[in-house]
Amino acid sequence: MNRDAFTADAPGELVSIRLPSRRPGGPWEEDWSFIPHPLPPDWEFPAQLWPLLAAAKERVGVLEGLSRLLPDPTVLLRPLVAREAVLSSKIEGTHVTPRELLLFELEGGPDDPDDAVEGESERRNARRETANLAGVLRVAAERGGRPLGLADLRGMHAALMAGVRGSDRHPGRFRTVQVSLGRDRKFIPPPPERLSDCLDAFGAYLTMSPRFQDPLVDAFLVHYQFEAIHPFEDGNGRIGRLLLALCFVQWGALTRPCLYLSPYFERFQQEYYDRLLAVSARGDWGGWIEYCLSGVVESADDTVRRCERLLAVRADFTRRVAAANGGARLVAVVDGLFESPFVRVAGLADRHGVHYNTALGDCRRLVDLGILEEVADLKPRTFRSPDLFHIAYDLTEPDGLVYTGT
């Protein structure tokens, strides 16, 4: 780590450490590790950012108002949770398409994921990692505004890393080894012997009252601090971005987690890393907060648009089913599409307690109504809702399908 890049304004201290050589068989190397000072920082919110904070709070207020009007928030927000899992994983180098994730979840996976790790293909392991994150996000969405603590972080990490390749990642345990970020060790978090003190202070800040700043600003301070501490051997970025969404709820910006910033962070990924490092190196809190608040404005607007389109699709699908004299089971099938836009005939039959041919007949009726289409060359027989798929994931596939409504 470049010690000279750290100025007197850095919100922490540098300590000398020894690390294994980056050359096989080479001698140990002297390097430096950064230990962040406990929150809150010695920093005042700059006046020039007040208009941006006001704009961010206004957009979050619109999103909160819309979420309160949703007839079934859990179902309608679930596609956005899956999208967050895909893009948060992508930031960490795990590339899984939305289609891969949804089909993997449709399979259900093996009964004991630990038995499936050895010999599992790289692609399937990546799908498992992303599906784990989607599951953690869904569970976290149900916790409401209950206080967060270090035990919650360990629990989320254990679920995230369950059954994935690499037995040395110690799911649910804070690290006991030194880690570094980047091939050139651009940033080196605290050594393990200093980790306990960092985490004790961090856990205390999570439950501190009153807050240091506005809830949005405080959440971004916490996200930086978590990433600077880097408490786990792996999975820190994904847990840190989940923590960000939960802090919005815990501190009153939202009543449920419906604002996820990974799409914004992924789109401006290099700036995301640069801004985090700039805080550590020279105390550039203003640049970090400005970047994040801009992300809130963009992400909240995007989420509102998606929720409005999901509501329009749901109303449109309901009208189509009603016009065709569809019964309660067909309505339930349509509602299930908001949990996953992919559906397998055999799974549908099991879910609704009907014969396979009856479930296939339901799918064909929904094809006739323009709600489903069969996925070609995929066994067992699978259908999808292209409208819902594109709204959730912003994808334009070769078929060019987009939702226009009727």
Task: Using alpha carbons, select from 334, 378, 326, 383 the residue that is nearest to residue 360.
Answer: 383
Q: Parallel, antiparallel, or unpaired for β 342-344 and 29-36?
A: unpaired
Query: Is 241 labelled as part of a ligand binding site?
Result: yes
Query: Is 351 labelled as part of a ligand binding site?
Result: no
Q: Which helix (H) or strand (E) holds 33?
A: strand 29-36
Sign of CA dihedral 157, 159, 165, 166: positive
Which of 95, 157, 223, 230 is the catalytic position?
230
Query: Is 239 labelled as part of a ligand binding site?
Result: yes
The answer, yes or no, to whether the previous bond of 210 is cis (omega within 30 of 0) is yes
Query: Is 361 labelled as part of a ligand binding site?
Result: no
Query: Is 111 labelled as part of a ligand binding site?
Result: no
> How far apart are alpha carbons 101 and 82 in whole angstroms?
8
> How far apart are alpha carbons 136 and 401 in whole angstroms?
31
What tokens were used for 141? 């969405």
Query: Is 234 labelled as part of a ligand binding site?
Result: yes
Q: Helix 192-206 crosses helix 150-161 at what angle (to 10 degrees)?
A: 120
Query: Is 260 labelled as part of a ligand binding site?
Result: no
Query: Is 100 labelled as part of a ligand binding site?
Result: no
Percentages helix, strand, coil for the chain (3-state, rounded to 5) are 60, 5, 35
Query: Is 203 labelled as part of a ligand binding site?
Result: no
| Residue at token pair 């604002």 | 259
Query: Is 327 labelled as part of a ligand binding site?
Result: no
Query: Is 352 labelled as part of a ligand binding site?
Result: no
- Quickly list DSSP for 287-304: HHHHHHHHHHHHHHHHHH
Going by the DSSP 8-state scheme, the letter that residue 399 receives in this structure is: T
230 is an active site residue: yes
User: In DSSP terms, which residues pair with 32 in a beta bridge?
Assistant: 16
Query: Is 230 labelled as part of a ligand binding site?
Result: yes
Task: Using alpha carbons, select from 286, 386, 351, 234 the residue that is nearest to residue 43.
Answer: 286
Binding-site residues for ATP = 92, 230, 234-241, 272-273
Q: Which residues are catalytic?
A: 230
